[in-house]
Amino acid sequence: MSESYSSIAFTQHVRDAQERYGSRAAVDRLGAQAPGPPGGAEPRDPLTDFEAEFIGLRDGFYLASTSDTGWPYVQFRGGPPGFVKVLDEHTFGWADFRGNRQYISAGNIAGDDRVSVFFMDYPRQLRLKVFGRAALVDVRQDPSAARALTVAGYRAKVERAVTVTVVAFDWNCQQHITPRYSAEELREVLAPMQEELARLRAQVGGGAAAAGEVLSP
């Protein structure tokens, strides 16, 4: 849990719920609510090298934004591994490719830039959740933003760039995260077994061939 996470997530209603369900003491041991920056400025907890590497290896994430009606909206954004780029210890971003053209997340961010992002690593049962402020960058007005975030060799039309300034983050418990594997990850897991199977087949085939030679007139 980053220094400022509890000050954002643990509102009074949340703390009342923790008290009611008996988890308040355990939660408080994770880290006391940190005071805000001087002058009432919003915190900006820095990502460590571990978070930066984790984000940079993902092939997708879940993005939550809030509409003008107050309803939350969650969208999955995917791409080739590495399409989310950590720009510095406070910022990550991605090139936003053309999708179903509903633009719900884009519209919500234009009205309220606060977002929550979940990065999942299903094989290792890891989950990183981030509070941040998102910004939309028109690539026609700022082509350099598109160049900085475009994935080389990935043929998809970039409509905009999105950057997120990290405010706070936390790592979730591994419990109940079911391991799931992409096709590429599954190939890596199965490769040793497939090699062993091929070796055994070769042994069996060679043995059968030798037996045939002995039995042949």
Distances (CA, A) of 68 to 9, 73, 104, 105, 108: 21, 11, 11, 11, 7
Which pLDDT tens digit goes with each residue over 109-122? 999 999 999 999 99
Instruction: Note if the pTM is more than 0.75.
Output: yes
- Block residue for tokens 């910022």: 91
Q: Indicate the pLDDT class of residue 217, thresholds 50, 70 and 90.
A: low
Superfamily of domain 44-171: Electron Transport, Fmn-binding Protein; Chain A (2.30.110.10)
Contact 187, 175 (CB under 8 A): no
Res. 50: pLDDT tops 80: yes
Which pLDDT tens digit goes with each residue over 60-109? 999 999 999 999 999 999 888 999 999 999 999 998 877 778 899 999 99
Segment 112-140 shows an average pLDDT of 94
The runs of H, that is alpha helices, within 36-117 are: 49-56, 104-111
% the chain with pLDDT above 90: 52
Which pLDDT tens digit goes with each residue over 6-35? 989 999 999 999 999 998 888 887 765 555
% the chain with pLDDT above 70: 88
pLDDT at position 100 is: 72
pLDDT at position 31 is: 61
Domain ranges for the chain, please list them: 1-41, 44-171, 181-217
Contact 85, 149 (CB under 8 A): yes
pLDDT at position 24 is: 86
pLDDT at position 59 is: 93
